[in-house]
Every structure is written in C-alpha cells, then in structure tokens.
C-alpha cells in the first residue's frame, strides 16, 4: 500500500515536472517567434526586407544572434544607481509572465495548473510586472529613466481599472474565475455580447505592456527607452524578453477570455492549434498597431483611459444581467427574447 | 507542528521583518519596496491557509496598485536615489508607543474572538471564489456597502483638500511641498 502511494506521488511529481518543463519551453520559444514575426511583418509593412542574413533562410536566426550579442556585452552599473534594485528589476519584470503562462490553458487538459481563481491570479501577476519597470526607472539614478518610471506608473494606474472591470464581466458571464472554466462556458455569440469588453481588455493590456501606441514610458525618441536607458547586455535583454513574453501573455489571455481559447472545429484533437492560431493572430494585430499608429501623448493616454475605456468597461459590466434561471443573460436581447443563453 | 505551521510561521516572520524594515530604512523607495515584500508574505500566508482568492486580491490591489501609487508619489516629490535625511522624526518614542498600542489593540480583537475557532484546512473549500462570494454578498453585504461609503468619503475629502489649496494661492501644491530639496524634475522650471 505504502509503495503504491509512493509510486502515485512519483507519478504526480513527474507529471508536474513535465508540465512545468513544457511551460518553460513555451516561455522561451513563443516570445522569440513573436519577435521574429515583428521583425519581418513590420519590415514588409514598411517596404523593407528585415533581417535576411542570420541563419541564411530569411534571417530566421536573427534573434538567436541578438541573444548571443547581448550575453557578450558588459554589465554597466551607473554610479548613482541603487545597486540591489537595479539588478533585481529585470527579474521582477520578467518572472510574472513565466508564472502566468503556467495557468493559461492550451487545451481542455493541456495546462500547467487549474486554479480556482486563475483569472485574478493572472491579473495580479500582470500588475506586479509593471512594478519592475517602475523600480528600474527609479534605481537607474537617471532623469530620463525616472521620467519613464513615473510615466509607466501613471499609465498602470489608469489602465488597470478597465482591464479588471472587463475581466470581471467575462467572469460573471462564465460564472467562474477559472480560465479553463471560462473557455468551457464560452460560445460563439459571446463575440457580440462581450465584444466591447474584448476591445477594452486588449487596449488596456497593450497600455500595460507599453506597446505602441501606448509606449510613452519608453519613448525612444524623447526619453531614450525610459526605465531601460541605463541597462546593458543580458539585463536589457531580459526587459526585451519581458516585453515579448508580455505580448504572448496578453494575446493568449484575450484569446482565452474573449475568443474561446481552444474552441473550434475538432477541438478535442486540434484545440491547442486553435489556441496558438488565435494567439498569433492577436500578436500580429499588436505588431500591426505598432507600424500604424503614432505615439499618444500623456494627456491623450489619460483621456483615453478615463473618458473612453472606463465608461465602456462599465457599460460592458452593466450589460451582464442576471436572469431568473440563475445564469447571466445578455443585455442586448433582453430577458424576453433570450432563450439560448 | 506540521510543515504547514512552519511555513505559515516563516512567512509571518518574514512579513514582520519586512514591516520593520519599512519604518526603519532611510530610503523612501526602499520602504515602499519592503512593503511589497510584506504584502507578498501576507498573501503567501493567505494562500497556505487556503484563502486563495483573498491572496490574489491582496497582490492585485496592494502590490499592483497601492504600492505603484506610493512609488509614483515618491518619485514625483523626491530626488533620485540616496537616503533622505528628513525621514526621521523627533517624535520617535511617542510614535513607537502609539504604534505598539494600535498593534496590540488590533491583535487582541483578532485573537480574542477567534482563539478557539478551528477550520479544517485539508478538506476545506472555505477560500474558494464561490464560498467567499456567497458569504460576502449574502451575509456581509451591509459592511461591504459601508466600506464603499468610506472610500467615497476619502475620495471626496481628497478632492476638497486639493481644491482648497489651489484656491488660496495660484501656485500648484507640488511646488510648495518638500523640505527645500524640491521635486527633482520640473521644479526649477516653474
């Protein structure tokens, strides 16, 4: 009996180990794929070719070469920097995204862990990651870095609210906070019902990641990369990796919450493929936005958050009405016509 | 004493140590970051006691929003890195006394009624979203709504305070604050 238990535990540990290894692999590979996609897609949108040399075939190894270059570079620690915080900040920016990937479901049973409150966990971790940028901005002892840190703090304060509100709307619609549970409850007409929420979530998420057009905290042409001004070598690479991991996480989350994650034809066999396709389609939109829209000013950023996104998020949340049957009904059709929900 | 007890105790001590560091460090930004450690240790305690949802909300609200707001405030009013000379007060002993008294009061109100209350952790779903939501919105609705009133009052008070100050002089409030060192950025240009 005891031996059986032991074998059971060994199996459990092995399963968890395999799952975590898979998540780590995804964490290391997916951001690079998005990065390469950005290189090539943006280049073609601007009538360039992008990287063509590294790896011989259309520059596929460009990011690997970049990584090797970053490793060789010297670590520079500014005189006025706060030593401990300066070295800790890149880790604080990067690790939350790794932790988030553990709970995002790739298929009905293809996920690291199914948390009861997975949605809250994900939102909490995303907030922690921004703390890394704020810390970096402060610890560098550089006024551009400090400006960038302040801007990212102000931006986080403004965009966290609509993000959490529309995430709450989805949770109410699904009746659960667990991410696989939300995907299981998803159906096609949510695209219309939760459509506003999807746009608000994606936009606010972009702002939290400091992606263009919300890249005022890192604006390279005015405050030279903001919080990352003083960073070199591997630490800078960590921040870059955090940005692309953030894109993967945001797109995967939007796909999970609003686009039905693994749902699609033959979802039992091909669920992971749908999830990846949706994630990469959204990543392409992120890149497209960068190539299309000019950077928003500070006041425009705040106005967009407080005058557009927050009201929209409130409208979205207000449309989730609870019907007599206990399920949440869509406010569009009203209780009289709503039979399918 | 089980492994769980040891873990809860360990995180509790970490939380306490971080809290002491918050009030003893000479650098304001470090104080804010020690606060992060303290909040995170508290969240870990919640998690070990199966209050999963409270733990994540703790991280989301306190680490993700409150501390970022604090850091924003500090960065807006203080110069970059280095210790601040004006964080020590002469009222150190009265402050200690008051802090200890408040701590003792809170501890006694928390310990007193729940001294002999036990919750089996092994088979418990007491911290799950469903159970917590039911308890909060079915049995504790009134305190919950009163709390929102309290927050509204604080919000209104903040608006009144800022308006009253700009009403008397035309200078922005920021330019007058701080002890001669002034805000690092933008102050010289005013």
**Which string of DSSP letters, residue by residue, matches B20-55?**
HHHHH-S-HHHHHHHHHHHHHHHHHHHHHTT-HHHH
The β-bridge partners of A328 are A322
The length of chain A is: 341
The pLDDT of A134-148, averaged and rounded, is 84
Contact status of B184 with chain A (Cβ, < 8 Å): yes
Lowest mean per-residue pLDDT among A156-160, A244-248, B25-29: B25-29
What integer pLDDT is reported at residue B166 of this predicted model? Answer: 55
Q: Do A82 and B81 touch (CB under 8 A)?
A: yes
Chain B hits for A128, CB-CB cut-off 8 Å, are 59, 63-64
Average pLDDT over residues B122-128: 66
Predicted local confidence at residue B181, as pLDDT: 45
Q: Is A316 helix (H, G, I), strand (E, B) or coil?
A: helix
Q: Which CATH architecture has domain B1-81+119-125?
A: Up-down Bundle (1.20)
Which of B64, B71, B185 has its CB closest to that of A124? B64
Q: Which residues of B touch A155 (CB under 8 A)?
A: none
Tell me the backbone φ, ψ of residue A322, rounded to 5 degrees. -90, 125
ipTM, two decimals: 0.77
- Contact at 8 Å (CB) between A330 and A193? yes
pTM of the shown model: 0.80
Mean pLDDT to the nearest integer, A43-69: 83
State chain A's mean pLDDT as an integer: 82
Give pLDDT, residue A334.
Answer: 43
Domain boundaries, chain A: 77-334
Q: How confident is the model at residue A260 (pLDDT cuts 50, 70, 90)?
A: confident
Nearest-Å Rg of the Cα atoms of chain A is 21
Q: In Å, how far is A176's CA from the nearest CA of chain B? A: 8
Rounded mean pLDDT of B162-189? 50
8 Å CB contact of B68 and A137: no
What is the distance in angstroms between the Cα of B115 and the nearest Cα belonging to chain A? 29
pLDDT classification of A333: cutoffs 50, 70, 90: very low
pLDDT at A340 over 70: no
Is it the case that residue A41 has pLDDT exceeding 70? Answer: yes
Contact yes or no for B75 and A82 at CB 8 A? no
Chain-chain contact of B81 with A138 (C-beta, under 8 angstroms): yes
Closest CA to B49 of B118, B103, B139, B116: B118
Q: B-chain residues within 8 Å CB-CB of A125?
A: 59
d(CA A113, CA A174): 19
Q: What is the pLDDT of residue B89?
A: 73
Which residues from A are below 8 Å from B65, CB to CB?
A: 127, 156-157, 160
A116 and B184 within 8 Å at the Cβ level: the answer is no
Which among B75, B134, B136 is the top mutation candidate for probing chain A, defined by the most A β-carbons within 10 Å of its own β-carbon? B75
A111/A100 Cα distance (integer angstroms): 11
Distances, alpha carbon A289 to alpha carbons A43, A292, B10, B165, in Å: 14, 5, 47, 42
Tell the residue number behind the tokens 């880790």, with chain if given: A91
Summarize the confidence of residues B48-54 as an average pLDDT: 83
Indicate yes or no: CB of B72 within 8 angstroms of CB of A130.
Answer: no
Q: How far is A142 from chain B (nearest CA, A)?
A: 8
pLDDT-based confidence at B125, cuts 50/70/90? low
Q: Does residue A165 register a pLDDT over 80?
A: yes
């Amino acid at each position: 009996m005891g031996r059986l238990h032991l074998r059971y535990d060994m199996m459990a540990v092995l399963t968890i180990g395999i799952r975590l290894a898979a998540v780590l692999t995804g964490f290391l590979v997916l951001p690079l794929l998005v990065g390469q996609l950005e290189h090539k897609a943006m280049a073609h949108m601007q009538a360039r070719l992008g990287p063509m040399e590294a790896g011989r075939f259309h520059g596929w190894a460009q990011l690997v070469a970049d990584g090797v270059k970053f490793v060789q570079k010297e670590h520079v620690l500014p005189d006025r920097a706060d030593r401990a915080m300066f070295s800790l900040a890149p880790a604080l920016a990067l690790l939350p995204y790794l932790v988030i990937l553990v709970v995002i479901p790739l298929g009905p049973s293809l996920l690291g862990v199914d948390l009861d409150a997975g949605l809250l966990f994900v939102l909490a971790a995303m907030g922690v990651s921004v703390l890394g940028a704020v810390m970096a901005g402060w610890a560098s002892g550089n006024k551009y870095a400090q400006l960038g840190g302040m801007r990212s703090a102000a931006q986080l304060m403004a965009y966290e609210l609509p993000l959490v509100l529309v995430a709450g709307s989805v949770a109410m619609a699904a009746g659960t906070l667990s991410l696989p549970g939300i995907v299981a409850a998803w159906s096609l007409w949510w695209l219309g019902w939760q459509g506003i929420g999807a746009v608000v979530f994606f936009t606010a998420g972009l702002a939290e990641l400091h992606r263009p057009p919300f890249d005022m905290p890192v604006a390279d042409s005015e405050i030279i990369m903001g919080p990352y001004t003083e960073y070199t070598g591997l630490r800078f690479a960590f921040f870059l990796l955090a940005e692309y991991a953030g894109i993967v996480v945001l797109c995967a989350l939007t796909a999970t919450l609003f686009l039905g994650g693994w749902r699609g034809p033959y979802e039992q066999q091909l669920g992971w493929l749908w999830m990846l396709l949706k994630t990469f389609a959204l990543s392409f939109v992120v890149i497209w936005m960068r190539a299309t829209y000019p950077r928003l000013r500070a006041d425009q950023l705040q106005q967009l958050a407080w005058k557009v996104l927050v009201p929209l998020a409130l409208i979205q949340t207000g449309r989730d009405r609870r019907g007599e049957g206990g399920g949440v009904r869509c406010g569009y059709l009203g209780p009289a016509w709503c039979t399918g929900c | 004493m089980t492994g769980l007890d040891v873990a809860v105790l360990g995180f509790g001590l970490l939380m306490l140590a971080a809290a002491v560091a918050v009030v003893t460090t000479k650098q304001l930004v470090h104080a804010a970051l020690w606060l992060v450690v303290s909040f995170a240790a508290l969240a870990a305690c919640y998690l070990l006691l199966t209050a999963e949802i409270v733990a994540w909300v703790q991280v989301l609200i306190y680490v993700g929003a409150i501390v970022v707001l604090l850091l924003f405030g500090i960065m807006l009013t203080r110069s970059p890195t280095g210790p601040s000379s004006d964080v020590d007060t002469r009222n150190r002993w009265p402050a200690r006394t008051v802090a200890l008294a408040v701590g003792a009061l809170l501890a006694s109100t928390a310990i007193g009624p729940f001294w002999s209350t036990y919750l089996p952790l092994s088979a418990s779903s007491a911290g799950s979203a469903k159970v917590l939501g039911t308890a909060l919105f079915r049995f504790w609705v009134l305190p919950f709504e009163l709390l929102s009133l309290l927050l509204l009052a604080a919000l209104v008070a903040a608006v009144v305070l800022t308006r009253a100050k700009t009403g008397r002089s035309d200078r922005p409030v920021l330019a007058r604050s701080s002890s001669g060192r002034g805000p690092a950025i933008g102050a010289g240009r005013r």
